Structure 1
Amino acid sequence: MPFKPSPNIGKNKAGVPLNLTPQYLIQHFDAAANATGAISWMLSPKSKVSAHLHIDREGNITQLVAFNRIAHHAGESEWRGLFGMNSRSIGIEIQNTGSQDYTAKQMDAVAEVSKLLVSYYNLKEVIGHEDVAPIRKNDPSGTKVNLFDWAGLLIVCGLAPSTKATTADLNIRRGQGTQFPVVTKIPKGDAVFELNRIGTWSKIQVVGSNQSGWVSNAYLTKAI
């Protein structure tokens, strides 16, 4: 795996790189037309952004930041009451314009490297930029939250979600709460994977599809 060090890493006021002890893995898409442009952007000091890994359409992996250093991939972010997820996570950028299906080679590479990272660092969860910055970002799942196979990835990583059923017709939303837009609706009785649960809201994925999003968990059965 080639390593092309990005200058865009977390440093203290003296310019000394800060250490990272990761707890989470965050998936992104790069919104780029090609890997060369995406990687060049993350190598440029002007961009002020980076990720630990980039995975292109052919499944080729490029490392840009060491796993014990802070990459600038999440920006203003929050998850489970924790703010500033750059200092708590490893970030993976996957080449995708934001409206493409991911390739099988890409998803195989994402799954393989994610599994290794979760195991080696004993990571708590694998989540998306869309989860930690839902107002600003919709990656890696896209505007309709239907591009990314979260359940398949979590199963590979040993973080298999529970399977539940809906007890009413439900709106699937972009984020946790009625302030987020509805992306689609699902009928009563649909089987879903419960990917994450925070308070009264759960991120789900409809079994048999990549459609995911947030629903009120008051309308989900116990695991089936």
Structure 2
Amino acid sequence: MDAHAWCTKAQVVVSPNFGARPAGMAVDLLVIHNISLPLAEFGGDYILDLFQNRLDCDAHPSFASLRGVQVSSHFLIRRDGQLFQFVAGSARAWHAGLSQFQGRQACNDFSIGIELEGCDTCAFTDAQYLSLTRLSVCLLRHFPVQHIVGHEDIAPGRKTDPGPYFDWQRFQQSLPGWMVMDATD
């Protein structure tokens, strides 16, 4: 990580969808998501385009609801493990939406968002778990992270990702000494 928390191992694709974090706000939460565009289809540039406000919403019928949406994440991990970064870790990406964690609202203010290319109906790949572990270790060294949760944990009833096929136990075992999925602590 450099001084602004750009990961030197990631391919940078800058998103315009970010803002400053509140002054003095510590980044102490990692949020794991899943994303695919169209749903359950992988590869291509649709996710990159979405995070850059360049998605052709006429390219697929399911994209109609994304017209005018401005979102981003700090990171995306493709099915083959390739890592992209859209927003500096020192900045606030727009990944969490309406959210709260342990009584704190607006999780974008104090979290890092990591998108896994996937969906709620399929398993993630070995390459994704390896890349996620490496990225998480780096982020845990750079930020005072206290919790690692799924999007579903900070927006219950509204979000379901990373979904039932994300192997929390496997991820937990790859980070000795860290407790993941601890939104209720």
TM-score normalised per structure 2: 0.77
Identity between Structure 1 and Structure 2 (%)? 28
CA distance in 2, matches of 1:197, 1:2: 30
Q: Is residue 2:110 matched to residue 1:83? A: no
Instruction: Structure 1 unaligned segments of length 5 or more: list them.
Output: 12-16, 162-193, 200-224
Aligned pairs, number: 158
Of the three residues 5, 8, 12, the one matched with 2:17 is 8
The structure whose residues are more often strand, as a share, is 1
Shift of 1:152: 2.4
Of the three residues 39, 63, 69, the one matched with 1:47 is 69
Of the three residues 148, 153, 170, the one matched with 2:171 is 153
Flag as ranges the 4+ runs of structure 1 deviating above 4 A. Answer: 17-20
CA distance in 2, matches of 1:5, 1:106: 21
**Equivalent position SS for 2:94:** coil
- State the partner residue of 2:184: 198
- Measured against aligned partners, the alpha-carbon deviations of 1:133-156 in whole angstroms (never above 9, x if no partner) come to 011100002xxxx31111222332
Q: Contact 2:75/2:113 (CA < 8 Å) preserved in 1?
A: yes
Q: Per the alignment, do residues 60 and 51 of structure 1 end up closer, same or farther by CA in structure 2, a change over 3 Å counting? A: same
CA distance in 2, matches of 1:132, 1:99: 20
What aligned pairs does 1:1-224 form with structure 2 within 5 A after superposition?
Answer: 1-11=10-20, 21-32=26-37, 33-35=41-43, 36-44=45-53, 46-141=68-163, 146-161=164-179, 195-196=181-182, 198=184
Q: Contact 2:35/2:115 (CA < 8 Å) preserved in 1?
A: yes
CA distance in 1, matches of 2:175, 2:104: 23
Shift of 1:195: 4.4
Instruction: Structure 2 unaligned segments of length 5 or more: list them.
Output: 1-9, 55-67
TM-score normalised per structure 1: 0.64
Q: Per the alignment, do residues 109 and 137 of structure 1 end up closer, same or farther by CA in structure 2, a change over 3 Å counting? A: same
> Aligned-residue CA RMSD in angstroms?
2.2
Q: Contact 2:29/2:145 (CA < 8 Å) preserved in 1?
A: yes
**Structure 1 letter corresponding to 2:33:** H
